[in-house]
Chain A
Amino acid sequence: MDIFSASNVVKKYDKHTALDGVSINVKQNSIFGLLGPNGAGKTSLIRIINQITGPDSGELFFNGEKLQQKHIERIGYLPEERGLYKKMEVGEQALYLARLKGLSRQEAVKRLKFWFEKFEITTWWNKKIEELSKGMQQKVQFIVTVLHEPELLILDEPFSGFDPINANLIKNEILELKKKGTSIIFSTHNMSSVEELCDDIALINQSKKILEGSVKDIRKEYRTNTYKVEFTGNFIAFTNAIWTGCELIEKHSEGNSNIATIKLLYDATPNQFLQAIMPHVMVNGLQEIIPSMNDIFIAKVSNQKLSIDSNFTE
């Protein structure tokens, strides 16, 4: 069951097309990475999900229902460009924003107390936002985002502005929310956090979705049959041993052992490779190199650009 799905969403501004037939499906109780370079159309899509703007065409569903105004209270949104009223006191402001999301005053106070204690910031209640540091403000903003216990949480670059300790705190909170059943759309440029947190991703580039699927599957799919092999023995013997079905990409020594990165060509298997080198050197280890999301991101996005460039010259 999808908590949210969008099909064939188109959004145009003037002459610029922000989204060109984009479809995504966010599974219940999963973390969905919405990826793409700056200006790809992520923010436009997020704003459509939040009903800040509407699409020109396309359909949106929340929990199987057509997305409507009433769903707003079941969605939480942490925008990338975040901010709070600078002159307002922390507690008062958090209450206001929580009540705008439909919480009663009493309920909001109760939950705020819980979160303030959890984050050990109870002393901030009567402080004005402008008296807090940037990181402290971010904490308040995170609490405000999750306070109404949304079923769908949209986090746009949630770690920006946090020091590593607090970033970790937030990361754990996100994982805990997921455990409790929250579904999360997570937009970021930080690919290592994508690998760490996301179940599925969609990659948007130049208003179009160019890649989607589970992080595991995508990384497998983009395997390049590249392996790292560690061995002791003569390097020249090793080089001679690898037959034509294999390409040496890189090699170096670390103490007594040599390390080489090789790419298997054609249908060669790791077994065949091992058989070829085993008579000549002593193999200490063999490990497949799976491409990182970072590599895939760069490859996919720049590829697309290249093809557009070639279109241009025609």
Chain B
Amino acid sequence: MNKILLIIQREYLTRVKKKSFIIMTIIGPILMVGLVFAQFWIKMIPEEKQKILVVDESQLFVNKLENSANQTFTYSKNNLAFEKKAFYSTDNNVILYIPANIIDSQKIQIFYKKQPGLDMQDYINAIVGKKLEEMKLLASGVNVNQLASIKTKLNLTTTKIEKSGNLETKDNEVSMALGFIAGILIYIFIFLYGAQVMRGVIEEKTSRIVEVIISSVRPFELMMGKIVGIAMVGLTQFLLWIILSVVGTSLVGNYFIKDDVNVAQVEQTFKTNIPQNDAFKEMSNDKQAEIMDSFFNQVNLPVMLFSFLFYFLGGYLLYGALFAAVGSAVDNEADTQQFMLPLTIPLILSFTLAQNVMTNPESSLAFWLSVFPLTSPIIMMVRIPFGVPYFDLILSMVMLVLGFIGATWISAKIYRTGILMYGKKTSYKELWKWLFYKG
């Protein structure tokens, strides 16, 4: 036991002392802070206003289209042919052509100098369409008051009836985002540090030191020491990133606000940085407060936090053992390709299917993916905000523990044989045989 601590210590210290670790630890938060404030900057820079010249042959829309923050409409009294010719002598960005028979044809056209963005096209489409609908309604005899009363803004709340009869209303947009971010973090951690385990094993193998070491400790101790040591390196790095990011963001934030920037604008930027920003934007302040409130009340924070730590470490340990086995089976990193595939496929699959699970958290696909140990660390984190039965959660955790034990057992067998095989290309068939070699 003492020796495994020594191994963990070495794996940890040699990595933490490396220049690349220190550089990454500093650059990571700078990138994070930079990213946040790059968005902030972009919001602060006033967007170029798009000038839209309306050539309205129907004369139905003159002075009736609402300007937005970025789009302003001006109305031409000339015909289309004239305006087309004059287009480049004006500072108009596009010409919106509304034909005389717009009511029947329902066709409008945009002429442009530079391809207009999708948001502008959408905006024009929506605003002209809306106006057209209103006109049609009015034409069919609906009066203005009726029209106003017909317009509806629906508000949907989802409420769960528990067996006990308690009602629980969930507004889980924030926790959904949190679950998704947790899944991504686990994904990154597994890939980044799993690969480090593999590289460490290859290094020991190619430098031939492995034979010296396993004449002092059991191969299993060396393998586990490496996996645990690197996990601690990863945790250290994440912790430093979080601390430095928070400190950095608040420092830079202070600077910006002191710099006499419109505070409301800053707030707005931060709000829109939260995922689901469209929904958020339209909410009143009351609603936002309600969400924050419901987040703390209804997301079971302890469960979420515990699950995150569990799947974060469990997933890493499971994959770490498998990555170690891959490293032991090859002589250099270029040869790892063929063995990496079975590891990367479930990882990437769970990452891509996370979206699917979010839209359909109760599906059987979601269930099985969140129970299968190779995909559960990411998928379960995505599922948890939607409320997972304790049975599912416990089953998934037990499966992950079993998966970890199984993977470690298999990996240890492959590792033990693999680290002493030099200069031979290994096939899957051989890996299979190694499982049955006696100690």
Question: CB within 8 Å of B: which residues of A?
Answer: 13-14, 47, 50-54, 56, 69, 72-73, 75, 77, 79, 81-88, 96-97, 99-101, 141, 144
Question: A47-B420, A54-B439, A88-B14 are contacts. A100–B208 as well, Cβ < 8 Å?
Answer: no
Over the window 279-301 of chain B, the binary record of Cβ atoms lying under 8 Å from chain A Cβ atoms (1 yes, 0 no) is 00000000000000000000000
Contacts of B219 in A (CB 8 A): 52
Question: A47-B420, A52-B214 are contacts. A82–B439 as well, Cβ < 8 Å?
Answer: no
Contacts of A84 in B (CB 8 A): 207, 209, 212
Inter-subunit contact A87/B14 (CB<8 Å): yes
The interface residues of chain A, by DSSP majority, are classed as loop
Q: How far is the CB of A185 from chain B (nearest CB, A)?
A: 13
Inter-subunit contact B216/A72 (CB<8 Å): yes
Inter-subunit contact A83/B14 (CB<8 Å): no
* Complexed CA–CA distance, A277 and B51 (Å): 127
* Complexed CA–CA distance, A75 and B216 (Å): 9
Inter-subunit contact A77/B212 (CB<8 Å): yes
Residue of B nearest to A141 (CB): B212
* Complexed CA–CA distance, A88 and B10 (Å): 10
Inter-subunit contact A81/B211 (CB<8 Å): yes
Question: A81-B208, A83-B207 are contacts. A96–B215 as well, Cβ < 8 Å?
Answer: no
Q: How far is the CB of B308 from chain A (nearest CB, A)?
A: 34
Inter-subunit contact A100/B207 (CB<8 Å): no
Question: CB within 8 Å of A: which residues of B?
Answer: 3, 6-7, 10, 14, 203-204, 207-209, 211-219, 416, 420, 422, 433, 437-439
Contacts of B212 in A (CB 8 A): 77, 79, 82-84, 97, 141, 144
Which of A56, A81, A88, A97 is in CB contact (< 8 Å) with B216? Answer: A97
Inter-subunit contact B213/A100 (CB<8 Å): yes
* Complexed CA–CA distance, A47 and B211 (Å): 9
Which of B6, B207, B218, B439 is in CB contact (< 8 Å) with A96? Answer: B6
Contacts of B211 in A (CB 8 A): 52, 77, 79, 81-82
Residue of B nearest to A101 (CB): B216
Question: A56-B438, A81-B422 are contacts. A14–B433 as well, Cβ < 8 Å?
Answer: yes
Contacts of A47 in B (CB 8 A): 420
Question: A13-B437, A56-B438, A81-B422 are contacts. A50–B215 as well, Cβ < 8 Å?
Answer: yes
Q: Can you list 22 pairs linking A and B with CB atoms under 8 Å apart?
A: A47-B420, A50-B215, A52-B219, A53-B416, A53-B420, A54-B438, A69-B218, A72-B215, A72-B216, A73-B216, A81-B208, A81-B211, A81-B422, A82-B208, A84-B209, A85-B204, A85-B207, A85-B209, A86-B207, A87-B14, A96-B10, A100-B7
Inter-subunit contact A83/B209 (CB<8 Å): yes
Smallest CB-CB A-B distances: 10 pairs:
A83-B208, A100-B216, A83-B207, A77-B215, A50-B215, A54-B439, A79-B211, A83-B209, A81-B208, A101-B216
20 further contact pairs, Cβ within 8 A, besides A69-B218, A72-B216, A85-B204: A52-B211, A52-B214, A52-B219, A52-B420, A53-B439, A56-B438, A75-B215, A79-B211, A79-B212, A82-B211, A83-B207, A84-B207, A84-B212, A85-B14, A85-B209, A96-B10, A97-B212, A97-B213, A99-B6, A101-B216
* Complexed CA–CA distance, A240 and B196 (Å): 81
Q: How far is the CB of A8 from chain B (nearest CB, A)?
A: 16
Q: How far is the CB of A108 from chain B (nearest CB, A)?
A: 11
Q: How far is the CB of A58 from chain B (nearest CB, A)?
A: 12
* Complexed CA–CA distance, A266 and B208 (Å): 54
Contacts of A13 in B (CB 8 A): 437
* Complexed CA–CA distance, A72 and B374 (Å): 37
Residue of B nearest to A96 (CB): B10
Q: How far is the CB of A160 from chain B (nearest CB, A)?
A: 13
Inter-subunit contact A52/B215 (CB<8 Å): yes
Contacts of B207 in A (CB 8 A): 83-86
Contacts of B420 in A (CB 8 A): 47, 52-53
Residue of B nearest to A73 (CB): B216
* Complexed CA–CA distance, A47 and B216 (Å): 12
* Complexed CA–CA distance, A84 and B14 (Å): 14
* Complexed CA–CA distance, A69 and B422 (Å): 25
* Complexed CA–CA distance, A238 and B214 (Å): 64
Q: How far is the CB of A259 from chain B (nearest CB, A)?
A: 48
Contacts of B7 in A (CB 8 A): 100
Contacts of B204 in A (CB 8 A): 85
Contacts of B438 in A (CB 8 A): 54, 56
Q: How far is the CB of B337 from chain A (nearest CB, A)?
A: 24
Contacts of B10 in A (CB 8 A): 96
Contacts of A82 in B (CB 8 A): 208, 211-212
Contacts of A85 in B (CB 8 A): 14, 203-204, 207, 209
* Complexed CA–CA distance, A153 and B207 (Å): 22
* Complexed CA–CA distance, A56 and B433 (Å): 16
Q: How far is the CB of B426 from chain A (nearest CB, A)?
A: 13
Q: How far is the CB of A110 from chain B (nearest CB, A)?
A: 18
* Complexed CA–CA distance, A157 and B181 (Å): 55
